Amino acid sequence: MNLTKVLSFVFLLAALGLGYLLWKGVDDVVETEKRIALIEAAVIEKLQMLRDAELAYQASNGEYADNWNDLKNFIQTGKIWIVERKETTKLLEYGKEETTVTFDTLGSVNVKDSLFNERKYPDFNLEALAVVPGSGGKQFEFFADKIERNSYEIAVFEIRDPAPVNPERQLNNNEKALKVGSRTDASTEGNWK
C-alpha cells in the first residue's frame, strides 16, 4: 500500500469517528431535552392536581393548607358540598328590579371521588401526589398565609418544585422553578404558561 491510500483510510476513519461524535452529541442533547420535557409535564400535572385540592380546601376551611399532611387528610376524608343557587328577579315600580338569591345545600361528595376520580386519573396514587417527579423522592414545598391588600386580608398559597431538573430553572437558587400560586399575590396560576 502506498502512503496516499493509508492516509485516505486514516482520514476516512477519523471523519467517521468525528461524524459519530457530532451525531452522538446532538442526540444526547435532544434526548436530554425530551427527558426534561416529560418530567416537567409530569410536575405540571401534579401541580394542577394540588391546586385543585388547595382550592377545595380553601372553599371548605376558609384558608389554604400550608403542609402536605393537612391537604392529604382533606383529600382522604374531606367533603365538597353541592349547593344550588337560585336567583329570582322581581320587577318593581318605575323599572327597578329586586333580585333575591337563595342557596340550597343538596348534599356532599368526597373530595377524592370528586377531584381525583378514576375516570379523570386512572392511576391516581395519593401517597405519590406530593412527590416531585424525577427528583429522587423530594416533596413539593408548601406555603400558605394571609396577606393584606387594600385593608383586606387575602389568603395566598404557593406550591413549588424544590429540585428542578431543567438547568434554566435552577438559576439564581431555583428562582424559575415550576410553581403554582404566589406568596405575594392572590393568584392560583402556574408559572409554566
Q: How many domains does the chain have?
A: 1
Q: Is 119 a domain residue?
A: yes
Could you give the 3-state DSSP secondary structure of residue 109? strand
CA distances to 12, 122, 134, 169 from 165, rounded to whole Å, are: 39, 26, 7, 8
Q: How many residues does the chain have?
A: 193
pLDDT for the residue 8: 85
Domain span at 99: 49-193
pLDDT for the residue 187: 85
Asked if 119 contacts 82 with a C-beta cutoff of 8 angstroms, the reply is: no
pLDDT for the residue 142: 92
Q: pLDDT tens digits for the chain (193 residues)?
A: 688 888 888 888 888 888 888 888 887 778 888 888 898 898 999 999 999 999 999 988 889 998 999 999 999 988 888 888 899 988 888 778 888 999 888 888 888 888 888 888 888 888 888 899 988 888 999 999 988 888 888 899 999 988 888 877 777 777 788 899 888 888 888 888 7
State the alpha helices, DSSP H only, in 62-168: 68-77, 111-115
Question: Angle 68-77/3-61 helices, nearest 10 degrees?
Answer: 70
- DSSP secondary structure letter of residue 8: H
CA distance 28 to 44: 24
pLDDT for the residue 140: 92
Nearest to 64 by CA among 126, 146, 179: 146
CA distances to 177, 179, 191 from 169, rounded to whole Å, are: 5, 11, 11
Q: Is 11 a domain residue?
A: no
Asked if 71 contacts 49 with a C-beta cutoff of 8 angstroms, the reply is: no
What residues contact residue 146 under an 8 Å CB cut-off, 6+ apart?
A: 63, 153, 154, 155, 156
Nearest to 159 by CA among 118, 134, 131, 135: 131
AA letter at 184: T
AA letter at 19: G
Q: Is 20 a domain residue?
A: no
Q: Is 179 a domain residue?
A: yes
Q: Is 95 a domain residue?
A: yes
**Assigned C-alpha cell, 187:** 393568584
Q: Is 26 a domain residue?
A: no
pTM over 0.85: no
AA letter at 189: E
CA distance 191 to 193: 6
Q: Is 103 a domain residue?
A: yes
